[in-house]
């Protein structure tokens, strides 16, 4: 390779060395690329681009601790490097350091508020860590950035509902439905909150709309069933029938009792008659 020949005679030729390192990277020869980047950084320690390339090479060789150090060096040299913050955040998640990753994703959003990748990753971290206050603030900011996004309102509503801020949750669900009339999940969630507030008629209407928008939505069907079981009055005909049946049983029992007494009485009468006849025969014999 020409660049290697150049470096063999003039090892201080950084331009040739950098091109050689980039070629190794493109070819996937990351160990060889690392060797060249480290040599370059010895003479150019304040170059954030070289530090970033070194970090990426370490990631590809799975030397994650060394990669983290190179990303930190990059950010120290260039705090506004969007790529460095994003890649370092992803690396920290891979290293199972969610709080450190969250710091870097926050920096990404500082530099680019509408970065959906960072916003989604940060949302997942807050949910996993149960940091609901930070999650609410993040989703509220998302709604402000995209006020016409029905899903953004729905997600914010879920957090408010979890925090038992039912009026705020209902307002967000209603906004989601206003933006997308057939938003089944928002309709279902609104019905769920209305049930918690004791507004059963409204809940039934919302849940029926959710079922219409998505017949496969299982929770809506379950909640509607609960409303039917718990809040629908028992039919009068059923109660009357039950009462009649009960009275009928009592009547039968009463008749049975009387019949038993009658039979008992008849039995006693027969015994008495037999005794009298026996007495008459005895007297006649005398």
Q: Please give the structure tokens belonging to residue 224.
A: 């509607």
Averaged over 265-273, what is the pLDDT?
48
Encode pLDDT of 188-237 as tens digits: 999 999 999 899 999 999 999 999 999 999 999 999 999 988 776 555 55
Please state, in angstroms and rounded to a whole number, the distance separating the CA atoms of residues 267 and 277. Answer: 16
- Tell me what the mean pLDDT of segment 163-169 comes to: 94
What is the mean pLDDT of the segment spanning 96-118?
96
Cβ-contact 73, 109 below 8 angstroms: no
Provide the pLDDT for residue 2: 76
| Angstrom distance (rounded) from CA 41 to CA 48 | 10
Closest CA to 54 of 67, 63, 39: 67
5 has pLDDT over 60: yes
Mean pLDDT of the chain: 85
Question: Which pLDDT tens digit goes with each residue over 15-51?
Answer: 888 899 999 999 999 999 999 999 999 999 999 999 9
Are residues 206 and 187 in contact, defined by beta-carbon separation less than 8 angstroms?
A: yes
Q: In this model, does residue 120 exceed pLDDT 80?
A: yes
Q: Are 29 and 6 in contact (CB under 8 A)?
A: no
How far, in Å, CA of 191 to CA of 178, rounded? Answer: 15
Identify the pLDDT of residue 1.
Answer: 62
Question: pLDDT digit string (tens) for 56-105?
Answer: 999 999 999 999 999 999 999 999 999 999 999 999 999 999 999 999 99
Separation CA 50–CA 162 (nearest Å): 46
Contacts (Cβ under 8 Å, ≥6 apart) of 78: 48, 84
Higher pLDDT pick, 265 / 49: 49
CA torsion angle for 191, 197, 201, 202 (degrees, to 10)?
A: -50
Residue 277 or 76, more confident: 76
Q: What is the pLDDT of residues 233-261, one digit of tens each?
A: 555 554 444 444 445 454 455 545 544 54
Is 36 buried (19+), middle (13-18) or exposed (0-12) by CB count in 10 A?
Answer: buried
Comparing CA positions, the residue from 209, 162, 215, 201 lying closest to residue 182 is 209
Structure token pair of residue 111: 């530099």
């Amino acid at each position: 390779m020409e660049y290697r020949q150049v470096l063999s005679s003039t090892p201080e030729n950084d331009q040739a060395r950098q091109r050689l390192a980039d070629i190794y990277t493109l070819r996937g020869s990351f160990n060889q690329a690392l060797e060249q980047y480290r040599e370059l950084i010895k003479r150019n320690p304040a170059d954030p681009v070289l530090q970033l390339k070194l970090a990426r090479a370490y990631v590809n060789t799975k030397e994650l601790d060394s990669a983290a150090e190179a990303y930190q060096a990059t950010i120290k040299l260039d705090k506004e490097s969007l790529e460095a913050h994003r890649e370092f955040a992803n690396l920290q998640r891979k290293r199972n350091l969610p709080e450190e990753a969250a710091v870097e994703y926050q920096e990404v959003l500082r530099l680019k508020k509408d970065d959906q990748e960072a916003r989604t990753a940060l949302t997942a971290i807050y949910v996993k860590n149960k940091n609901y206050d930070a999650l609410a603030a993040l989703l509220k900011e998302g709604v402000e950035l995209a006020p016409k996004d029905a899903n953004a309102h729905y997600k914010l509503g879920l957090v408010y509902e979890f925090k038992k801020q039912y009026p705020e949750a209902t307002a967000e669900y209603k906004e989601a439905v206003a933006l997308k009339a057939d938003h089944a999940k928002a309709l279902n969630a609104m019905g769920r909150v209305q049930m918690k507030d004791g507004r059963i008629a409204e809940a039934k209407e919302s849940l029926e709309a959710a079922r219409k928008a998505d017949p496969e939505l299982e929770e809506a069907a379950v909640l509607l069933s609960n409303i039917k079981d718990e809040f629908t009055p028992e039919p009068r005909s059923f109660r009357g029938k039950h009462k009649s049946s009960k009275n009928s049983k009592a009547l039968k029992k009463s008749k049975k009792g009387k019949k038993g007494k009658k039979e008992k009485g008849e039995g006693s009468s027969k015994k008495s008659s037999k005794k009298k006849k026996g007495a008459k025969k005895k007297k006649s014999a005398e």
